[in-house]
Amino acid sequence: MKILVILLISLLIAGCKKKDSGQPKKVEKIEDKKEIVAKKELPGEFKVKAGDLEISARLAIPENLKNPCPVLFIIPDKPPKDKDNTLSVEGLVAKSYRDLTIELNKSGIAVATYDSRPFILQKKGGMYSNVSFSRNYEDAKAVFEEIKKSKNIDPENIYILGHRLGGQFAIRLAAENENLAGLILFNFDPNPIEKQVSAEIDKRIEEQTALMNKTAISDQKQVFETNIATLKYNKDKFMRDFLSIKQRKEDLILMSFGKDWWFEASNWTNDYPNVLRKIKSPVSLICIELKKENEPVFARIFPNSRLEVLKNTDENMLVPENSEISQEFVKALLPHLKR
């Protein structure tokens, strides 16, 4: 059980939880929907060099463009994401970034996306879960600089959207570009990485406790009690090990990630307030749920931001348990792109 719990937390940190891993509960078969079958690559593909890697990106410009247009640059979530945010399992498919691009193009807004470094490394058969924060950021920065060169883009109307963990890189890019029209963070967790892990374990403990209280079967109660005890043990161990890493006392391998990864992750996520003070552009927050513990954090580090909470959108911008892009999300996003 302990191994399974450690794996669970590791998946959280890698940004690869099941609900984000391309497995919507109810999606449509490719052969059942002609427009999905007929979909071809959107125009605007380009390559950009980022360190030791060539990044495949796309800048999709609206058709029949007469004047330079606004652009939304999407920085992907941490799991291996392609430029479409393809989520698939056994012949079922959803492409939220691609569908969002099509929707925004209809409103005269260009959209830029790219294949994340973890996605590229995964395709090559290499290690991808422990890619450093700094390398992920340099990738986003390289694509962003290339986008700004386009003559079809209005340089005064460039927006950045950070998708979940991609928000870590979005806020730094916004801090370095004071002429940005706006920064949008979707389902961004503003807490340090250690608090995110701790909160996730607490959530699992609550779930197991609720299940235990519902059953009257003694054997099942014992199983849940064991699960809860194991979760509490691993939470305590995680915090002890994490403190050792932070103090550089031990060269631990914590949940498949080395000391340097955790040290950098903690520094980046604890530095949000300092980075945000440098941002000159408007900041918008869009969430699918607002956790009570996050309310004061948002109020403190995003005092002048616009906050919107959605009810019928999942963490991948889709209709819950469906492969369709959430129109609720599209409608919520558009006003933030037209200031």
Higher-pLDDT residue of 148 and 79 is 148
Closest of 280, 267, 61 to residue 179, by C-alpha: 280
How many CA atoms lie within 13 Å of 333's alpha carbon, on the beta-carbon side?
A: 30
Written as six digits, the tokens of 56 are 């495949």
Find residue 184's DSSP bridge partners. 161, 284
Are 11 and 17 in contact, with CB atoms under 8 Å apart?
yes
pLDDT of residue 152: 94
The length of the chain in residues reads: 339
pLDDT of residue 89: 42
Find residue 86's DSSP bridge partners. 95
Average pLDDT over residues 30-51: 64
pLDDT of residue 69: 95
Written as six digits, the tokens of 163 are 């998708």
3-class SS at 203? Answer: helix
Identify the weakest region by mean pLDDT among 48-57, 62-71, 97-106, 124-133. 124-133
130 vs 133, 193, 255, CA distance in Å?
9, 14, 10
How many angstroms separate the first and last alpha carbons of the chain? 51
Place of tokens 């794996």: 7
* Residue 130's pLDDT band (cuts 50, 70, 90): low
pLDDT of residue 16: 41
Distance between CA atoms of residues 167 and 173, nearest Å: 10
Each residue of 244-299: pLDDT tens digit? Answer: 766 655 555 555 566 677 778 888 888 888 888 889 899 999 998 777 667 777 77
Higher-pLDDT residue of 169 and 16 is 169
3-state secondary structure 120-160: HHHHCCCCCCCCCHHHHHHHHHHHHHHHCCCCCEEEEEEEE
pLDDT of residue 154: 94
Average pLDDT over residues 34-42: 49
Output the CA angle 228-232-238, nearest 5 degrees. 140
186 vs 31, 59, 74, 100, 339, CA distance in Å?
31, 20, 10, 13, 18
212 CB contacts (<8 Å, ≥6 apart)?
220, 221, 224, 225, 228
Average pLDDT over residues 54-82: 92
pLDDT of residue 331: 94
pLDDT of residue 129: 65
CA-only gyration radius of the chain, Å: 21
pTM of the shown model:
0.80
pLDDT of residue 289: 79
| Statement: residue 28 has pLDDT above 50 | no
pLDDT of residue 71: 97
Closest of 313, 307, 260 to residue 288, by C-alpha: 313
Q: What's the CATH code, domain 2-187+271-337?
A: 3.40.50.1820
pLDDT of residue 256: 52
149 CB contacts (<8 Å, ≥6 apart)?
none
Distance between CA atoms of residues 238 and 171, nearest Å: 27
Which backbone phi and psi does 245 adopt, to 5 degrees? -65, -45
